[in-house]
Structure 1
Amino acid sequence: MGEIGSENWNLDSLYEGVSESTRLKDCIHNLKQDIRKLKEELARYKNLSEQSILVSIIKKVQASMKQAFEIDDFLICASSADVKNKDVSKLLEESAHLKANLDSINVEINQLLGSLTDLEWNHLLQFPEIKLNQFYLEERRQKARDQLPVELEKVISQLSVNGFKGWENHYDQFISELEIPVRKDGNQKMLSIAQAFNEAMFSSDREERQQIAQSLHHICNQNAETFASILNRIAGFRLDVYRLRGWDHLLKESLEQNRIQEQTLQMMLTTIKENQGILKSFLKRKAKVLRVDSIGWYDILSPSFTSNQKLTYQEAMNTVIQQFHRFSEKLGNFAERAFQNGWVEAENRGDKAPGAFCASMPVAKESRVFLTFAGHKQDVVTMAHELGHGYHNAILHEEPFFSQQKGTSVAETASTFAENLVLDAAINQADNDEEKLALLEMKIMSSLIYLGLIPIMFDFEWNLYQKRKDGLLSGEEISDLMKKAAANSFYDGIVEEMDSFQWITTGHFYDMEKAFYNIPYTVGFMFSNGVYARAKEEGSSFQKQYDELLQNSGRMSVEQLAETYLGVDIQTKAFWETSLQPTVDAIQKYKELSEKLIKK
């Protein structure tokens, strides 16, 4: 077990030896055998049609999916901690095949569930194993009814490997090979697209941001037609599948994946648009702070104020634990357990993958949190965010695996909630205006992403698919759609230099599994802010409701969760306006504190 305060996680406690683990290899072998037996049982059920056999199959599929999910997340952890480990890469490929085989079985089960009469389904619900997972299985039953016959769905799945998935892989490979030439410290060096984009957005030197942004756009422009070809084929494949299934609504798949109704989504977007003046007021103030007449896309997320305060890892852990305990003993105890048991990988070293995530280990009933800690306040906020995911996992691990499945729109609830606990405390405890402004800006940046940038991406993607129905689009036409979406947003009249190639640098547009992948994060951000507002209002009496909300996040729609645990109708504007209030308050405070600084 990792020592208290250790910056390295313990993967050996899950599968000793990691990529060399005998237990891991045994689990993979046994899973292959279980999948083979499941296929045989499915064939037997089709001949006999005995419900007890179907119940047995569903139980075994649930167990196999649980094991496969843990293996895949474990291997992602191992790969992220050591990006050069080729043995892990091979095991990840093996894991992908296991998941594909399970997907094939699930297609058949979905069709079997969909073919049941209401009388047969009600009889099946008499089995406790089925009743426990009723919500999830009814979703799958409806999904089957909305799809093509099983053999055609299997054909689509097979064709997608070299079609849908093939184009996504081509995008990943092509963009990873591009290099952006930049001058830094008097020398020219080559950056990846991701590195250049981060430098362009977050560098504290405005001239450097401008130079990198120009270089990034130059390379994107040179390769725009190739990326347009990839995006055209991904959008075209998705539209063809929708047409074959008889789906005439572009958002059908996304709404169902995220368990949210269109009326709710549109009400949220309308509320955001009606209040975009608050984001505009921040950008106007930011232009004054930067002492420029107008700003470019590369200025939006760059820090105007920076916190010079550094923290040790021990101080960061203590901060998270303390603030978690302030909300509830259960949440605080979870954070202590995560640190004590070696669930967190935070060391700042070169052989790690970038980014941060939380991996769920449903068989072990544990999580693993990945980040790189460099001593900044933002690192503490990231740590809290990912541990929030871990707390959500811990509560769901007590539920059947099928009932652990949640949409992105509620998956961010606990993480954003935990982030708010730590960031708000830091803002309140800041001992000078510069420090407080840096922390306020950190909070506002999240709002700019979720309330400003992601709605732009949503508008763009909607218009892209509408245009793609009429034929192929050139790189220039796609860039024009991007610019129009940006111009019709909080950018209007303030941001002069648009990021017309955001459609190239945003990987979510090329994701085959999830259409309109970006907008659920805005739903999650807003929903969590609404939950957080209720927690602040009710104090300790809300702790039990909060845990129950998380516990049932795999069993209810977003609307049902809000009605049951918050007592609100989120298809009305009031809830979303409440969710906007933390952003309004943060920007107002930022403007107040920065007023005297811009007059100097």
Structure 2
Amino acid sequence: MTTTRTLPHWDMSVVYPGLDSPEFAQDFAAIVQDIQQLASSFDTHHIQKRPNLTVDSEVIQTFETITNQLNIVLDRTKTLSVYISCFVNTNSHDNLAQARMSELQRSLVVLSQLSTRMTAWLGSLDVEALIAGSMLAQEHAYALRKAKEQAAHLMSPAEESLAAELNVSSGSAWTRLHGNITSQLTLAVEVDGETQELPMSAVRNMAYDTDRDVRRRAYEAELTGWKKVALPLAASMNSIKNEVQVLAHHRHWQSALEASLFANSIDSQTLEAMLSAARASFPDFRRYLHAKARVLSVSRLAWYDLFAPIGTENRTWDFDEAAAFIVEQFGTYSERLSGFAARAFAEHWIDAEPRPGKRDGAYCTGLRGTESRVFANYKPVFGGVSTLAHELGHGYHNVNLAHRTPLQRSHPMTLAETASIFCETIIRHAALQKADEQEQLAILEASLQGSCQIVVDITSRFLFEQRLFEKRQQRELSVDELNDLMLEAQRETYGDGLDEELLHPYMWAMKPHYYSTGRSFYNYPYMFGLLFGLGLYARYQQDPETFKRGYDDLLSSTGMADAATLAGRFGIDLRTEDFWRASLEIIRQDIDQFEALIQK
């Protein structure tokens, strides 16, 4: 990787000097004590399921006292938890960070139990009467109504408490195992005629190499690596999915998918409308894949060709150049967005360097107030720039949420991608305008890569998980069976767009989204986010000034209304295919332009 300077690491010293500092130890102890005091307050006020509880002045006062205390504790705990995880995710060999995370986990269990008790208590109340009698309740009306509905799906208090306690050594433990195994996995791969031992993240980055033989060797090394660790990862997968199903059954959800739809604030009609529109778009995506195959002079793309660059970028996107470009182009939307991005780069919020022990992928997490941290494995191509813009979009979302309480900020995955897709689209349109035809081809290719992953590949991941849940009701699945399920889903979605003899059977092992008891069906919200974000960008283009007046407020309200209600502010009906088809039409136009450039 060639850049003019070392890729940046994020600066965590502005929070604490280090994990072994007295300041960290003092706050860690204080937060543990805060959670214990909150538990005592819950006991004092009998915050638990209490059938037929009348909403009177005493209950209103109790609600306001407990809610204020809970919001304060959630804020402080979030900062500490994110601080520790930033060390774990960039260096899973950091034993001190791993130990501190394990210690904190004990208190997080208590906090989870208290949250469940709060939900059960609210389920005992007439929340409409509570909302009518308290300004604080009015400000948290959406969360209260969601809690009321969720309370109907709680087990007994003893069962919920036990489930939270056991999760540390069951679901969460399997999640940590997956993270540790995958971040520490190194592979032997030939680079420039020499065999090197590289971390999985670096090997996966080779999928973007211009040399097909390099991509093939990296793909083969990756599959060999996943095969070596497939047994413990299959055990993790089987255990997590069984736990999710057992809990969904005992909480009286019809399925894990029904519980996921509730958590993501959409209904089955919305999901089916989106997936149906996606399926109708597959021929267009296969057209894109066939066109790419022609450029690469192959009869059919292999899996390792999916991310192959085409077109010619006249410059390497050095990280500093990427930063300057993002700041400048965000400014075409607003000074506020541009200023936010400039601050993120100046204050070292971004960890961009791939290195041993660091997990693969990219994400953004809120840290404190308006501050976020962006995790990336930067590649000096336009795709790397686009990823940075995407993650900074999440950070801008966090800025708009900063004045809300933690209970108001909690928003579903379906709406979490709203700002990130919007920001990514700003950057892509700007880059296309400044590029010659060869660069346009490279930029469109990078964009279509991402769209294909989010529409086609995520459908395959959804189908895989749906069928896995069905089969897991009978028994555990072997590594071979998991591979077969994944290949079946890939053939069904990619069709003749890929060589079906060169697919990726271990995508179930690679994707961390499968390995969380709290985030089942973590896939379709990304498709929702892409298409919703594109639809909003189209509204912005139609009437920029009107859109700007409502957009930041929309972002700040993503934890205060369901997706259909928020979409309605912009005249969008999520329950019909029309909106989703209109968003996919934007992608289809990119495919048309891509084909036209190829013909030239």
- Compute the TM-score of the two structures, normalised by the length of structure 1: 0.90
Aligned with 1:189: secondary structure? Answer: strand
Query: Are the equivalent residues in 2 in contact too, given 1:181–1:190 (CA < 8 A)?
Result: yes
Aligned with 2:196: secondary structure? Answer: strand
Tell me which of 155, 161, 169 is aligned to 1:154: 161
Instruction: Show the counterpart of 2:79.
Output: 70
Cα RMSD over matched residues?
2.7
CA drift of 1:488 comes to: 1.3
Instruction: Show the counterpart of 2:508.
Output: 503
Is it true that 1:584 corresponds to 2:588 in the alignment? yes
Query: Are the equivalent residues in 2 in contact too, given 1:358–1:367 (CA < 8 A)?
Result: yes
Instruction: Show the counterpart of 1:406.
Output: 411
Q: Per-residue displacement from partner, 1:425-449 (whole Å, max 9, x unpaired)?
A: 011101x222111111111111011
Change in 2 beyond 3 A, CA 1:33/1:147? same
Q: Once structures 1 and 2 are overlaid, which stretch shifts more, 409-418 or 6-15?
A: 6-15
Aligned with 1:147: secondary structure? Answer: coil
Instruction: Show the counterpart of 1:380.
Output: 385
Change in 2 beyond 3 A, CA 1:290/1:135? same
Which whole-Å CA distance do the structure 2 matches of 1:204 and 1:128 have between them? 60
Change in 2 beyond 3 A, CA 1:249/1:176? same
Q: Per-residue displacement from partner, 1:147-172 (whole Å, max 9, x unpaired)?
A: 11111111122222222223333333
Instruction: Show the counterpart of 1:253.
Output: 259
1:456 maps to amino acid: S
1:454 maps to amino acid: I
1:139 maps to amino acid: K
Change in 2 beyond 3 A, CA 1:574/1:352? same
2:168 maps to amino acid: V
Correspondence 1:175-194 to 2 at 5 A:
175-176=182-183, 178-194=185-201
Instruction: Show the counterpart of 1:210.
Output: 216
Query: Are the equivalent residues in 2 in contact too, given 1:193–1:505 (CA < 8 A)?
Result: no
Is it true that 1:323 corresponds to 2:329 in the alignment? yes
Which whole-Å CA distance do the structure 1 matches of 2:408 and 2:219 have between them? 44
Query: Are the equivalent residues in 2 in contact too, given 1:381–1:422 (CA < 8 A)?
Result: yes
Instruction: Show the counterpart of 1:229.
Output: 235
Change in 2 beyond 3 A, CA 1:384/1:193? closer
Tell me which of 459, 462, 467 is aligned to 1:458: 462
Correspondence 1:61-210 to 2 at 5 A:
61-79=70-88, 86-116=95-125, 118=126, 122-123=129-130, 125-176=132-183, 178-199=185-206, 201-210=207-216
Tell me which of 514, 520, 530 is aligned to 2:519: 514
Correspondence 1:377-526 to 2 at 5 A:
377-430=382-435, 432-492=436-496, 494-496=498-500, 497-526=502-531
Work out the percentage of aligned pairs sharing the same amino acid.
28
Is it true that 1:244 corresponds to 2:250 in the alignment? yes
Which whole-Å CA distance do the structure 1 matches of 2:163 and 2:354 have between them? 43
Tell me which of 320, 332, 357 is aligned to 2:338: 332
Change in 2 beyond 3 A, CA 1:257/1:20? same
2:562 maps to amino acid: S
Identify unmatched segments of 5+ residues in structure 1. Answer: none
Aligned with 1:495: secondary structure? Answer: coil
Q: Per-residue displacement from partner, 1:538-591 (whole Å, max 9, x unpaired)?
A: 123211111111111111111111112x11211111111121123112211111
Which whole-Å CA distance do the structure 1 matches of 2:526 and 2:512 have between them? 15
Instruction: Show the counterpart of 2:41.
Output: 41
Change in 2 beyond 3 A, CA 1:492/1:343? same
Identify unmatched segments of 5+ residues in structure 2. Answer: 1-5
Q: Once structures 1 and 2 are overlaid, which stretch shifts more, 86-95 or 411-420?
A: 86-95
Instruction: Show the counterpart of 2:374.
Output: 369
1:446 maps to amino acid: G
Q: Once structures 1 and 2 are overlaid, which stretch shifts more, 122-131 or 463-472?
A: 122-131
Query: Are the equivalent residues in 2 in contact too, given 1:526–1:579 (CA < 8 A)?
Result: yes
Which whole-Å CA distance do the structure 2 matches of 1:224 and 1:110 have between them? 38
2:549 maps to amino acid: K
Change in 2 beyond 3 A, CA 1:559/1:327? same
Tell me which of 556, 559, 568 is aligned to 1:563: 568
